[in-house]
Amino acid sequence: MLPPLVGRWVAIPKRMCGICGFVYLHGASSSTGDRSVLEQMADSLHHRGPDETGHMVRDGVALANTRLAIIDVADGHQPVHNEDGSVHVVFNGEIYNQGALRADLAGRGHRFSSQADTEVLAHLYEEEGVDFLHQLNGMFAIALWDERGRRLLLARDRLGIKPLFYTEHEGRLFFASEIKALLAVPGMGVEADPAAVDQYLALRYSSGSSTLLKGVHKLLPGQRLVVDLAAGTWTAENYWEPWKSNAARPTQSLDEAVGRVRELLDDAVRLRLMSDVPFGAFLSGGLDSSGIVALMAQHMDEPVETFSIRFSEEPRLDEGAHAQLVSRHCGTRHHEVDCTADRVELLPRLLSHFDEPFADPIIVPTHQVAASAREHVKVILTGEGADELFGGYTRFVNDAQIRRLARLPGFVRSALGALARRVPSAEPLQRALVLADQPASRRALTWIEAFDDGERRSLSVHQPAIADGAERLYADCALDAPGSHPLEQLLFCELRLRLPDCMLTRTDRMTMAVSLEGRTPFLDHRLVEEALWMPHRFKVNGRSEKDVLKRALAPLLPPQIPQRKKQGLAVPFALWTRHGVESSIRRVLSPQSVRRRGLFHPSYVASLLDRWGPHAARHSQLIWSLLCLELWFRMYVDTGADRLDPSTPLSEVS
């Protein structure tokens, strides 16, 4: 074990921020209005970086950065350039191994003018070209302009922790950390994509490279986009695909795997405890966040600041007692917030930070606990990624039971199906039999699906051109899985789709909304690569989820924590939607409103509301999805008097 960090934090250059800019694709020079356009884009990202804004506009290219100063507060200005000004970089994120990279570059003769890790990127590009990305350990969205080569490089980190969007408009390629910066460009049109709307109804968010807006794309995790003005081309390509490696992997014993996971996670936490400002951790009382806090406590000589959510209105979802247990065990300075139905009043404002409809109700408590943490710290560590890497969701255990059903003789399954149809209480069996006939990729989608195929067809007035977009997305993803076992395919779909597009998006937007930096030790790419090739039986073992991780973290935690049944962060949105804000929802989704929007059959939406009872959790989920979609249309697509101000409380939305 490394010695404790001296003091509360250790200095190494880091910053969180927003980036944006554009490049002329056809050799045109900068116009007199370019700086104004760039400033409008950057202003829309002020919440991501309230401390400082930097701009660069020159022959055919414009770069901007809004900075949340975390380290090298006095001297970490962006854009950053190399010695002769031929390479310019704006950067959102952190490079955890920048110290070693800096030392190596200095040994090769490079001169540095600051302690900023952004400057390391400029010099590393000089040495390695676009392949410098392979040497980075961190989370990042990067825009780099090579003046000599007349080349713009856009890149996103391997797991998609930091976002990056782009679009082509009037001969220029625009990019930004958030879509709102693209929409700040004068003349940029806003049109919803019907196929993406259909995908949203299935997933409750957009996934893959698509967004809800036509022509606006996400750079995928582990991708880079190179605009080569000299050649007149621009292409997006993957630079990180370890799951496609054919290298032989030595067979590990479970004990070896446990030791390796603990070693890599411990080092990942250590690297992320570097900052010039106070930091803390989200603590739910579950295995993942508790393990992060325990490792933090071993590396620090002052108490860890921890923050958790309580649900006083629904005690069965409240994990506060478990968080307090871990806090006492690790000696943290603990803070709690109680999330109640009245927080849903903020829904329009919260959704405006996503720039797309996003129907995960966990954004409500996430924003609240992030705002509470920001009163004490500027950096927060989270436990995200562990479930996707090590099989932490109950559905992975259930899927194993489903696969056993699939192996039964056909006549036995037919008899069970007939029984399930006759006995109302046997509905779970009927659902299991349906799942047993599906391929792993389809089950991966079915486990998380909101509106299923039939419901979407009944709901929609106009069938989109691509009605099976979500299913094809999952099928294509499963083909890339590092192994053929169904569990490996399920885990891979979670890692490459739901993790970046739902979990990491949720945390990025809600922490950045309050100018708080989030760090994810479980997504250190070294640990991810180890987990990708680990035998699946080390992850889900019988009825035990995350077996290898539980064994790795058990010595650090109270015994009750690894032994707990998986609960996961959940919110009482059935309670909220039925009793807290029901009248607001019925008003927003009234037949007149639905008819005016023209997307859905008013009678179908009305039937959902009519069948909505206090225990109808799934109905609440579907209604919540429609509510978030309608609010998004009003904030982003509607114009004039119909446009909704995001600061409007939900109860005042007419």
Which residue, among 296, 255, 257, 254, has the nearest Cα to 278 in the 3D structure?
A: 296
Are 346 and 513 in contact by the 8 Å Cβ rule? The answer is no
Supply the residues annotated as catalytic.
17
Contact 9, 304 (CB under 8 A): no
The number of beta carbons lying within 10 Å of the beta carbon of residue 248 is 6
> Following DSSP, what letter does each residue of 310-335 receive, concatenated?
E-TT-GGG--HHHHHHHHHHHT-EEE
Structure tokens at 451: 């509106």
Which position has the token pair 């509607």? 638
| Helix, strand, or coil (residue 47) | helix
Torsional sign, CA 157, 91, 519, 340: negative
With H, G, I as helix, E, B as strand and everything else as coil, classify residue 242. Answer: helix
Looking from the CA of 614 toward its CB, the CA atoms found within 13 Å total 3
Taking alpha carbons only, the member of 654, 645, 591, 585 closest to residue 621 is 585
| Beta-bridge partner residues of 218 | 165
Give the span between the Cα atoms of 636 and 129, in whole angstroms: 39
Taken as a whole, the chain contains a residue count of: 654
Instruction: Judge whether 198 and 466 are in contact, CB under 8 Å.
Output: yes
CA distance 131 to 20: 22
Place of tokens 């900068």: 30
Distance from C-alpha of 295 to C-alpha of 312, rounded to nearest angstrom: 29
The closest of 323, 317, 316 to 288, measured between CA atoms, is 323
508 vs 18: CA distance, rounded Å:
11
- Peptide bond before 3: cis, by omega within 30 degrees of 0? no
| Closest to 153 measured CA to CA, from 136, 137, 161, 141 | 141
In the chain, helix, strand, coil percent, each to 5? 50, 15, 35
Strand partners, 89: 80, 144
Q: At what angle do helices 287-299 and 254-271 cross, to 10 degrees?
A: 60
**What's the angle, vertex CA 40, arms to CA 38 and CA 46, rounded to 5?**
105
> Which stretch of DSSP H or E encloses residue 66?
strand 61-69
429 φ, ψ (degrees, to nearest 5): -65, -40
Question: In whole angstroms, what is the distance from residue 597 CA to residue 585 CA?
Answer: 15
Run of H or E residues at 429: helix 427-436
- Whole-number Å distance between alpha carbons of 82 and 88: 7
| DSSP β-ladder status, 138-146 and 52-58 | unpaired
* CA torsion through residues 367, 371, 376, 378, sign: positive
